[in-house]
């Protein structure tokens, strides 16, 4: 079947089987490998992308179900050569070690900050509670999101 959606602002159309999951569509059809494919069971959250402005686990959404929708992936965070404050925060606060969970974590963090610019530690932990990190013990991820909250995009990042 033909699916057609907007991915990071760009219209894409592909012929796929109805059973193809959104995560594989993004990675294998569009070569957007920033979105990671993890547990396959909507537990680990590394595959989180936005669909019509809402974070979803793309291992549990069919590409067919995403047809006609707007998808935003981790590749869209960077603006030109400017990192998103969330990316900068993960870098500065060592919010990752192996990096496997990072794309999902960052997409959820970006959504959280868009809706709650100054989240408490508890709110950050709640927001990422559907995502699993096996390296950081979450401490540095929380610090990374806090860093991003303290350095919103309008500010000169890196100054």
Partner 1 sequence: MQVPAPFDYDRASSVEEAVALLERHGAEARPIAGGHSLLPMMKLRLARPERLVDLNDLTELSYVRTEGEWIAVGAMTRHAQLAASDLLARHYPIFQDAERVIADPVVRNRGTVGGSLCQGDPAEDLCAVVAALGGQVVLRSSGGERVVAARDFYLGPYETVVAPAELVTEVRIPIRPGSGSAYEKVERRPGDWAIAAVGCFVTLAQGSVADCGIGLAAVGANGYCAPQAEAQLRGQPATEESFRAAAEAAAAGCRPQSDQRGPEDYKRDLVRELTRRALRRAAARAMAGGA
Binding site for partner 1 (CB under 8 A): 1, 17-21, 24, 40-42, 45, 48, 54-57, 60-62, 64-65, 67, 108, 126-127, 129-131
Question: Quick one: 119 or 157, whose CB is closer to partner 1?
Answer: 119
- Closer Cβ to partner 1, 55 or 95, answer by number: 55
For partner 1, the closer of residues 55 and 151 by Cβ is 55
- Pair 87, 106: CB distance under 8 Å: yes
In the complex, minimum distance from the CB of residue 42 to partner 1, in angstroms, rounded to a whole number:
6
- Measured CA to CA, the distance from residue 26 to residue 126 in angstroms comes to 27
Beta partners for residue 2, in sequence order: 15
CA distances from 101 to 16, 64, 105, 130, 159 (A): 27, 25, 6, 11, 28
Rounded to a whole number of angstroms, the minimum distance from the CB of residue 14 to partner 1 is: 14
Based on CB atoms, which residue is closest to partner 1, 54 or 91?
54
The residues facing 14 across adjacent strands are: 3
The answer to whether 157 touches 85, Cβ cutoff 8 Å, is yes
Tell me the closest approach of the beta carbon of residue 145 to partner 1, in angstroms.
14
The least CB distance from residue 51 to partner 1, in Å, is: 9
DSSP annotation of 77: S
Question: How do the residues of the chain divide into helix, strand and coil, expressed in percent and rounded to 5?
Answer: 35, 15, 45
Closest CB to partner 1 among residues 36, 57: 57
Q: How far is the CB of 45 from partner 1 (least distance, A)?
A: 6
């Amino acid at each position: 079947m033909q699916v057609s959606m907007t991915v990071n602002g760009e219209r894409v159309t592909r012929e796929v089987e109805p059973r193809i999951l959104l995560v594989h569509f993004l990675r294998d059809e569009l070569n957007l490998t920033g979105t990671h494919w993890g547990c396959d069971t909507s537990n680990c959250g590394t595959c989180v992308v936005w669909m019509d402005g809402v974070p979803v686990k793309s291992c549990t959404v069919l590409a067919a179900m995403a047809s006609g929708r707007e998808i935003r992936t981790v590749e869209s965070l960077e603006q030109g050569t400017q990192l998103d404050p969330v990316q900068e925060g993960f870098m500065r606060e060592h919010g990752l070690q192996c990096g496997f969970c990072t794309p999902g974590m960052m997409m959820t963090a970006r959504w959280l900050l868009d809706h709650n610019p100054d989240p408490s530690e508890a709110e950050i932990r709640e927001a990422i509670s559907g995502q699993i990190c096996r390296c950081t013990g979450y401490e540095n991820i929380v610090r990374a999101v806090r860093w991003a909250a303290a350095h919103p995009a309008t500010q000169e990042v890196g100054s």
